[in-house]
Amino acid sequence: MSDFSLSTLTLLHVLISLIGIAAGVIAMIGWLKSDLSRTATATFLATTILTSATGFLFPFTKLLPSHIVGIISLVMLALATFAFYAKHLSGFWRPVYAVTAVLSLYLNVFVLLVQGFMKVAPLKALAPTQTEPAFVVAQGALFLLFLALTILTALRFRPAPLVAV
């Protein structure tokens, strides 16, 4: 892959990821109010699936932790998409959707934080090996925040029944 195509892929991957995170935050605010936020939800699901899928287009010679995160994310997004579009959030599928959608958003933000500590100079200076307290505290705080958001969303997300269109 040429430098131009690799840099273009990187830019597209990052832009899609940031759109997915923004749409996911907007959608999750709606989910916490039992609002389906259909446009934000569709944008979140599509861009987060694209983010995970495009991650596999980068050259690699062995399975990396980022690939494991991508596989887990794609499995959760498949469940979330199935629960939303095929099962219309009925019964058991409502909490399945809430949990898998929020955890998919968490994984996207998790990767953003890891990349931030790898590539943003002030963050890299705080945790050059990503084992320093600043990194551990940031990851722990992010995990606790999303654990709480996952629980709250699963409990609060009770939208009106979806009808097949």
14-71 pLDDT tens trace = 999 999 999 999 999 999 999 988 999 999 999 999 999 999 999 989 999 999 999 9
Q: What is the DSSP letter of 157?
A: -
pLDDT at 85: 94
Query: What digits encode the pLDDT tens for the residues 104-116?
Result: 999 999 999 999 9
Q: Do the beta carbons of residue 81 and residue 45 sit within 8 Å?
A: yes
pLDDT averaged over every residue in the chain? 93
Helix (H) or strand (E) holding 114: helix 93-119
Residue 119 CB burial class (10 angstroms; 0-12, 13-18, ≥19): exposed
On the question of pLDDT at 163 being above 70, the answer is no
pLDDT at 159: 84
pLDDT at 62: 93
Long-range contacts of 6-14 (CB under 8 A, 24+ apart): 6/58, 6/59, 9/54, 9/57, 9/58, 10/58, 12/54, 13/51, 13/54, 13/55, 13/57, 13/58
- Give the Cα separation of 12 and 129 in Å (integer): 27
Span 139-162, average pLDDT:
92
pLDDT at 58: 92
How many helices (DSSP H) and strands (DSSP E) are in the chain?
6, 0
On the question of pLDDT at 160 being above 80, the answer is no
Enter the pTM of the model: 0.91
Question: Nearest 10 degrees: CA dihedral of 122, 115, 149, 22?
Answer: 100
What single letter denotes the amino acid at residue 153? Answer: T
pLDDT at 124: 96
